[in-house]
Amino acid sequence: MRRAPVLALASLLAVPLLGGCGRKKAEIDGVGDWRFGITTLKDAGRCETNEQPVWCFEMPLSVAGHTVEPNLYFESAEPEAKLVEILLSFSGCREAEVGKWLDDGLGAPSEERAGRRYYARKKVFVSAQLPAEPSRCEISFVLPDDAERIAKLKAK
């Protein structure tokens, strides 16, 4: 059963901002309905199972006032295959709004260079290129222990 992605995304970013009164910030572990360690292929939308990793798409959500079509990548075509990457790529990107959305949800970047921001967190590593091309943003969420993918994202 799928939940409303827009509401889930709002809750994803609202929880870390509720930190007052001695509450510990919730660790980000994905975007919207999609969570590393929880989401499996059977939870996704339309998928191309002939590709490796398996690619799923057509599940729009709202990010910083933009409608985004996330691309989800899974380790195999098995129904219980684990989520390995979330890619948000969108045109008409308003960089300042997207940057604020990231910083509000994740805190300050761990590293910034050449138009890229990197957020190394306990449950997720995020690479954001704002912009990736003129008026286009690209944000990748991967598992923090996926050293090979993180190296590729940093090499872009």
Specify the pLDDT at position 135.
Answer: 81
Angle at 2 between CA 34 and CA 127, to 5 degrees: 15
What is the extent of the structural domain holding 28?
5-155
CA distance 41 to 52: 13
Q: How many domains does the chain have?
A: 1
pLDDT tens by residue, 56-115:
998 888 899 898 989 999 999 999 999 999 999 888 888 899 999 999 999 999 999 988
- Helix, coil or strand: residue 5: helix
Please report, for the domain that includes residue 16, its CATH number: 3.40.1000
Residue type, 6: V
Q: CA separation (Å) from 98 to 89, 133, 144? A: 12, 14, 22
Residue type, 149: R
Strands laid side by side in the 54-57 sheet: 46-48, 54-57, 71-74, 83-91, 136-142, 125-133, 116-120, 111-113
The DSSP H or E segment spanning 114 is none
Model pTM score: 0.82
CA quadruple 5, 103, 136, 47: dihedral sign:
negative
- Which backbone phi and psi does 154 adopt, to 5 degrees? -75, -20
Mean of pLDDT values over 106-131: 94
- pLDDT above 60: residue 20: no
Band of the pLDDT at 25, cuts 50, 70, 90? low
